[in-house]
Structure 1
Amino acid sequence: MTASTVTNTNILQASRFFTHCIQADASRNEQLQQVSELSLSPDLFAQFLQKEIYQGATLNKAMRRLRKLVVCTLIKRDLCGQADLNEVVTTISLFADFVVQQHLQALNAEMHTMHGIPTGEESGKEQTMIVLGMGKLGGYELNVSSDIDLIFCYAEDGETQITDSTQRSLSNHEYFSRLGKKLIAAISEVTEDGYSFRVDMALRPNGASGPLVASFNMIEEYFLIQGREWERYAWVKARAMTGDTDDIAALEKIIRPFVYRRYLDYGAIDSLRSMHGQIRAEVVRQESKHPERSNNVKLGRGGIREVEFLAQVFQLIRGGRDASLRDRSTRLTLHTLAEKGIMEAPVIEKLLVSYTFLRNLEHRLQYLDDAQTHTFPAREEDQQRIAQMMGCACVTELLEQLRPHREFIAEQFDAIFRDKAENNSENEQGMLAVSLSSPDSDELISAHLASLEFSAQDATAFSQRLVATWQSPRVQSLSEASRMKLVALVNHALNIIARQSGNQLLAWNRLLDFMEAIARRAAYLALLTEYPHALARVIRMMAASDWAAKFLTRHPLLLDELLDESSLHQRPDWPAFRLDLQEHLAQHAGDTERQMETLREMHHAMQFRLLAQDLEGQLSVEHLADELSQLADIIVAAVLQSAWQTVASRHKAEPSFAVIAYGKQGGKELGYASDLDVIFLYEDEDQDAPANYAKLAQRFITWMTSHTPAGILFDIDIALRPDGASGLLVSSVSSFARYQEKSAWLWEHQALTRARFCAGDAHIGEQFEQIREQVLRQQRDIDKLHAEVISMRKKMRDANINRSDLFDLKHDAGGMIDIEFIVQYLVLRYASQYSELTANKGNIALLKRCGELGLIDLLLANQVSDAYRLFRKLQHGIRLQGEDRARVAPDRVKKEAHATTTLWNSLLGALQ
């Protein structure tokens, strides 16, 4: 038998509450026949309520009668397969809203008559009581027989304004306290008609010992001083059921920073683990006292609460940065986790199936007697009723269906909430903790390290560095709990490093620099504790690159990127990234500071993914530069759009404005820490255009270069604009064209060989490309070109004299700049004959093309191309180790430097 084949007779046999309601009131069966084919709505609630009142019932009586009709309708529709879980929980939640709103409206009118209108002492506005629905009510996922968890609050203190002598003025707090008491009584007092809802006010600030209502100031102060971790979990669900729209928005701004941290809050895992442990301990205690009440589908192992915790832990961890994870519904949050790739879609799908099964079972347990229960009934007859309502032939069949759902939920819960610190040897941790606190710490730790098979020399160096870190003021100021967490991480790190090859001491020193920097941020310690594989990857990256170690130390928020191995290795999906960036910026529209942080966080995160792939050899230097340049283009476009919105005097929705990239960004050869060389062009006849675009350019530079807690985006160099430092910040397209045609120096035309449209108005980009091609294809005086290129190269060489015995890959004769000058010379000399040379394809491709065209020796062209590729690879590797100057032993590049010098001499002669 399935739920969809359950008949009316079966319902009467299964639900005693349903039977009692139908038998107690002959009219209810007729009403039930009218509405059971419909999905209930607030409009239908209102119609039936008014009909009862019209027939002489009081509001309280009418509401209680309506509640029985609603519940009986849901029981019938659910058990007959006409309603799914979503309809059941949404309908009863909407009914709870309706009950609260109707009673509050009536009671508030009475209070106005007796005491006047409560008014804010600062704003002078009428004050209204905001009723917050908490728990499942907040998420529109209420149980049919559930209590409703409420919190009462109001915006401002003040007093009521009376209009005649019969009224007695009250303070706003007293007014809303009385109103709240009346509302609870109206909803929850048991009469001959029952009740509308049981009301639980325990979630309010300070619980049962706190005031019944609280002003916004009281709530804010409570959150700042006394708010506890479990309350963050509770307030995730808070939803305003009544109140002024502006006041609700103001309250949201108070709640949000308490619930959602601006950083990734992995400490939430431990907090929820602790809360879950207490809940489970209480369930076990109750089950041991009352074995007949076992099998708790809500709080037991693999129960409903574990699914809710799975959803909400990610809300608490990530909701501060991602507004899409702030939904109050468990089901919608689970869908979002799948969409975001935070949990695998098949896992989420199975969780939702299991969650639905448990919620349906929970409802049937409550349908029996309209009781708020989550455990199987003790009587075998009642157990059989539950099985029948679940469409099972017997209780055994039901339990067989239940078991895999609970096992799957428990398995997924454990994957997130199992205490990962248990993976470390407690004996080792304890010994390390004692050793660090001992006067003979160096000797004791060295002995411990020797047991891990470190050499005596390394053990001494490791020990000395660890003791120095442990005794630093930053670490000594930590709480005992944080220090012990740090000990566990250090111990685990030692075991990882002991198994690694390479320079172990270098990795150790870099790691301890990092640990010391993040020690006061418990969330980062929690993340590394909860995800040991992330710690292993951190160590690998730090062993591979000093630059990576420093980057991660400056931006520990990026630790989150290490959790998903699959996404870390995926090639960037740039259209998806662009869209995601736009959505995140839109979430913070009007908040410049938060938008600037968002840009930096998302740029660093993508840069870090590329860094991880780079360090594992998945990207060539050329491919990496392409990806970093593409990332920069997207960031430039986003900054341009966002900065324009902050120009209050802007004269049009979209600016007729473009950013042109030069240098490494223009040639798509960007590195991790490269500056951006840009100029700004516009084409706009509006009289306000020059001033507005000058403001936009200034804002753009500010957004890019300002230091925020997340660092900067890029340093910006605008020296290549027309007339350099003495020129205007922005240029019209026409004035730029005139300058390039008539006034620009040759070196500016050299720079133009690797310039391109980067972001903004695409039409201006097309115009720029036309100007660029026209300039580069000019007929030139070869002797003058020859002399000016040589002169400029000599100035650069003289400004970067290398006094070491090493070969400077960039500046020395035969190095990278020589190759770049060769390409620029060839383009400026021959583009008038070969238009394809104006294409911005990069130095390697252009060299090879010049060889194919016979402009230079083809073999030499290929050799110099290979030299440039090697120089870039070596430079990149050196920069990853944190070196400012890229220099190598001359013998390492002797052949490549010779090829470059030979080509230079053949074209331009020996440089004196």
Structure 2
Amino acid sequence: MPEEEELARLAHEALTCDPAAALEPLGRLGFGDPERASQALDRLAGQAPFLAPLPAQVLVALARTGRPDQGLRHLERFVETSGARLSLYARLKDYPRLADYLIQVLGHSRFLTDILVRNPEYLYWLFEETPFLEQALDKQTLSRQAHQQLEAEQATVRRLEVLRRFQRRELLRIGAAEVLGLKPVAQVGRELADLADVVIECALEAATEELSVRYGRPRSERGQPAHFGVICLGKHGGQELNYSSDVDLLFVYDEEGYTRPPRGGAAMSNEEYFTRLSRRLIQMLTEASAEGFLYRVDMRLRPEGEVGPLVRSLAGLRLYYESHGQLWERQMLIKARLAAGSTEVWVRFRDLVAPFVYPAHFKVSPQEEIRRIKERIEHQILEQPSRDNNIKLRAGGIRDIEFIVQCLQLLKGRVELKARSHNTLEAIGQLTRTKALSAQEATRLREAYCFFRRVENLLQIEDGRSVYALPEDPVAARGLAWCLGLADGPALQQKVEEHLEQVRRIFAGIFHSAPSAGEQWGWLLEAEPGSTRAREALGSRGFADGEAAHRHLASLMQGGMMTSTARQHLEDLLPELIASLSLSADPDQALVRFVQIVGAYGAPGVFYGLLHSHPPFRNLLIAVCGSSPFLAELVRRDPGLLDGLVSRQFEPPPGWHQAPETLLGHRNQEVLRIGTDDLLGLATEEETFLRLTELAEQILQAAYALAFRQVVKRRGRPRTRSGEARFACFAGGKFGGRELDFGSDLDLFFVYEGEGRTGRTRTENHLFFTELAQELIRFLAEGNLYPVDTRLRPEGRNAPMVISLSAYLRYLTGRAALWERLALSRARLVAGDVQLGRRLQLAIHRFVFGREVDAQTAREVLEMRLRLEPQPGPVDLKRGPGGIVDIEFIAQILVLKLGRTQHSLRLTSTRQVLNGLSQTGQLPQEETQFLLDAYDRLRGIEKGMRLASDQADNILPEGREMAALARSVGQHSPEALVAEVQELMRRTRGLFNQIFAAFIEGS
């Protein structure tokens, strides 16, 4: 800063020489635009420049701000609204201190300038008529003054306007002292907090009066008055408020009960009354008028945050903090203080939370948890353009100082009661006395904190905005530096870096734990919605919509059941979760499924702990979410199925098969187990299909037993002259072939033996067994167990549901068609009477294998296969040319031909038939192996489609679903998968044509 004498000389020169010559001294005074400054000076002088010259000390004062252009603009605004220009100039000339104070305020703060422009009369109140600019007004004095001004007003609207003007005037008083450096940082923060307390107190009184007139006063259940308290938190609670701070509040009342309404009114619960009171108070504080608004209110620190109740009773708060309180809430409550309302409520609240804030033992180390929070904050500010200059959130900044102090308070506060101060500077002093901080550490923290808070205050008072970054503009940096008594912007930056380094060293000494694995991603949970860094980070890991993925990950932290331990478990899971999901077929949808399962489980804290303590289970669940929407949906619908994944030795409860409602749970548990084994590669395709078939048989037999008991209970047992009638349930298709897939239906047909009636209701046996079949199908279908297809019965879907053995035998030897020979080659007994089943199996084999397969038969089978082909279009794995059906037809026609003489080939499984043909030399080894490989591959892809949707669709999907399918079956792209399938089907069709041509040509 230039010397005072030099500034005075330049100012005199600028004011007394002609306008052209004035540009040079104005430039040397620091004006960036001397010509505009000269014009402004002329406008300020008005019509009598020689009679009322602008005092030179004003120019000197403007130069001393370091931002004279801004100061001059603000001075011109103020003069235009003051209305008494000559009188003002005379005062500025006669009272140099007044000129200096005014210009410093105008030069450094548009926010304070706006107040003076709005109320020019405040100038003399501020600098002349009151002696308290350098003094501290206590809270009682402020409250008395506010109530005196409110006394004349009765209407709430008018009282709020008076309150807004009172607040604005007091902000000017405190802010002017701040700019002029007349008060220490601690005093400024305390006065700003006291002002907020008084404003909230006055607003609460007005809101209480309004509601009491309408609803009466709240009473406890014992009839005593119920009380309400407004607890302030954060900087407000710590009496460290900024000029643009929100007020963090927590609303609490003491007793449950009801209001005593005016005559004719209805009583209201205390909870509803105090909720309405809280809403009205927030409205009063935040609602804007021509006079502005009072405060922004932040209620997110209350239990459960934005989704939690607005107000809670003391008992409700106790329950929450004891059950769900997290370590950050302990930190937050250190600064809790009564802002307005009942002192009795405050005392009870303070005593209630003290054991929570200062427990005998911590489940999670405060150093570890606070360090994790700090690292997330540092990750967040990486996206901010001004991140390198952020004195609040940078490493070594204000937040680090607060975290150091709060961590030591948590550790020492249980025994050292004086360490429980809500004010940071007071706490530093107390922690020094308890030896938690050395004298040197305390000095460095105190100096850094006071310096940073003064910088923060000056930044915010500039425009009344929440700013924490040093200005990049050199002129603004110079002005800030001069206000702090420093030489220039670089000197300011150097001072900041020195303090940051000192604090970083102390922070590192206290928070010395090594980062855990989860912290490389833990910052995602705190990143703001729409975060560019989060979107790009997740996009680089394979998520197509990084912004949505970030939103889903952040949602994992929501809910009232989250604890600090649960949070730590979740952060530890993040690297594995993100890495595993990124390798899945569709990372975006896999994450959605994981979030849905967490939500369905209902206790995320417990769930994260389970995932944390059981790595195999965790990996299994991520595999399910990443590879099988079908299995993930099973888990979402019934999270209890996860029990079977935690323990691979899980056994179903006894008697699961004895009630219809328990069949589905057992079926889903086993499907999940089979599916996860398949995903992890613990089973081959053949083993998976066999296990699914065996499960279906198990469920079918249990359902058959239940259905039989039900029908017998209604009708009695079916009798014949020689004893009891018999019933057999046969399977065909892939169920008969022991090759069921996920989502397959059950091909069934039913045969009974023995005419007669039931013993009790005399119902004909045919009707009894029809009812039995219908009851069985109903159990399977309505219980969501399996869809049933009964078209294999004689005459198809229009025929009776069941048929007698004699009628069935006549049908086989008479009207049965060729397609039925093929279909019945896979028929086998799955439930019912074993003796009847054996006799029926022999009859079916006589029908299937009793005739030669000549050229005409082969031609008819070929035509039958071609009729099943779809129209040209998307790739159909099953029915398309060269698809799965081609291989099944090859196996079936060879079984029909060779099974007549080689009983070992009378097999129901396509794969077993192909193996048998290879072993007996009926097909060349190379051709057989190709058919086996093609069959396994096509069915494996089909299985991948079933796991994705549980729908029996055999058409290759498109777009995103196709990309996911390709990845799930080991192909690098959809195009590669299509090319592979087309080549397999081309070669299969070629072999199919070759084999059928040989049959037809008789060679």
Q: TM-score range by the shorter chain?
A: 0.3 to 0.5
User: Rg: which structure is higher?
Assistant: 2
TM-score for the superposition, normalised by structure 2: 0.41
